[in-house]
């Protein structure tokens, strides 16, 4: 059974490869869709590993390699080919930030990994920036957004997303939709369910809004904690947890 999660990881990797091929050919919609497909396979490999009890260090390493291609290299190439190609060297540097900082994010995660279960990520996980870029180019770039606003968003995403990956902001992990999870974290579970419904109702357009919302949660949590600290408030026990000291049972 141990090979089944790795099969989904390989499919994730293959989708990243297909995204790169389509981006190089100028088929940006297809390139973005393959990143979204890779995201689905990335979710499945972790879920299957938990269900079958086959989580392993090999799976973690393979998952990170696949993620770097699908969620690091692929979105960087989309950014370059779809927008930054006219800026020559500067465009290459800006486009490469997601790939470079994504690699740093994955390396930090693996170096600090103790187990396979956690409540928070430190820094936004690498799939989220890739899905943010993909959903933006699919539904908003020069479509729902004007060219001027689209340009502002492209620069903001190219610079802001990499910084959030290597930040120390805490981001919630995906709920496992078990009875225990629903009892312990009902708000998070309900938010995710409502977000899925929103994405389905809007035929995918709501995915970009959900990504922006998720990205903002880490900034909001950090700001709130700093204000509590400044005014003498105390953190809740779960806010004291870090990615390094949590015992895990599921994949990133």
Q: What are 26-56's pLDDT values in tens digits?
A: 999 999 999 999 999 998 887 777 777 777 7
| Cα gap 57→173, rounded to integer Å | 19
Q: Which phi-psi region, left, alpha or beta, contains residue 118 (left: φ > 0; alpha: ψ -120 to 50)? A: beta
For domain 3-245, the question of CATH label 1.20.120.1760 is answered with yes
Nearest to 48 by CA among 118, 1, 114: 1
Domains of the chain, residue spans: 3-245
**Residue 157 is encoded by which pair of tokens?**
């995403």
| Cα gap 109→85, rounded to integer Å | 31
Question: What mean pLDDT, rounded, does the chain reach?
Answer: 85
Question: Residue length, the chain?
Answer: 252
Q: What are 9-18's pLDDT values in tens digits?
A: 999 999 999 9
| Cα gap 39→190, rounded to integer Å | 21
Q: What are 141-193's pLDDT values in tens digits?
A: 989 899 999 999 999 999 999 999 999 999 988 766 556 666 777 777 778 78
Query: What per-residue confidence (pLDDT) applies to 193?
Result: 82
- What is the percent of the chain where pLDDT is above 70? 86
Residue 224 CB coordination number (10 Å): 13
Q: What are 102-135's pLDDT values in tens digits?
A: 999 999 888 887 554 567 888 999 999 999 999 9
| Cβ–Cβ under 8 Å, residues 76 and 70 | no
Q: How far is CA 201 from CA 157, 170, 206, in A?
A: 25, 29, 8
Question: Please, which pLDDT band fits residue 194 given cuts at 50, 70 and 90?
Answer: confident
Range 190-218 average pLDDT = 89
Query: What per-residue confidence (pLDDT) applies to 182?
Result: 66
């Amino acid at each position: 059974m141990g090979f089944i999660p790795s099969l989904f990881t390989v499919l994730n990797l293959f989708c990243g490869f297909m995204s790169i091929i389509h981006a190089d050919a100028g088929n940006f919609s297809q390139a973005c869709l393959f990143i979204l497909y890779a995201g689905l396979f990335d979710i499945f490999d972790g879920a299957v590993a938990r269900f079958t009890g086959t989580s392993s260090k090999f799976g973690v390493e393979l998952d990170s390699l696949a993620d770097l291609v699908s969620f690091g290299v692929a979105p960087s190439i989309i950014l370059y080919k779809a927008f930054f190609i006219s800026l020559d060297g500067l465009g290459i540097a800006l486009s490469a930030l997601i790939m470079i900082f994504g690699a740093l994010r994955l390396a930090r995660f693996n170096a600090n990994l103790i187990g396979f279960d956690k409540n928070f990520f430190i820094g936004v996980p690498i799939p989220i920036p890739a899905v943010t870029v993909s959903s933006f180019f699919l539904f908003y770039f020069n479509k729902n957004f004007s060219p001027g606003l689209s340009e502002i968003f492209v620069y903001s995403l190219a610079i802001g997303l990499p910084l959030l990956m290597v930040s120390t902001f805490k981001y919630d992990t995906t709920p496992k939709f078990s009875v225990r999870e629903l009892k312990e974290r009902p708000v998070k579970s309900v938010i995710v369910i409502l977000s899925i419904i929103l994405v389905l109702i809007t035929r995918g357009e709501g995915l970009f809004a959900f990504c922006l919302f998720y990205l903002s949660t880490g900034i909001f949590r950090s700001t709130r904690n700093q204000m509590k600290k400044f005014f003498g408030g105390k953190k809740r026990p779960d806010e004291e947890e870090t990615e390094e000291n949590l015992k895990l049972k599921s994949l990133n």
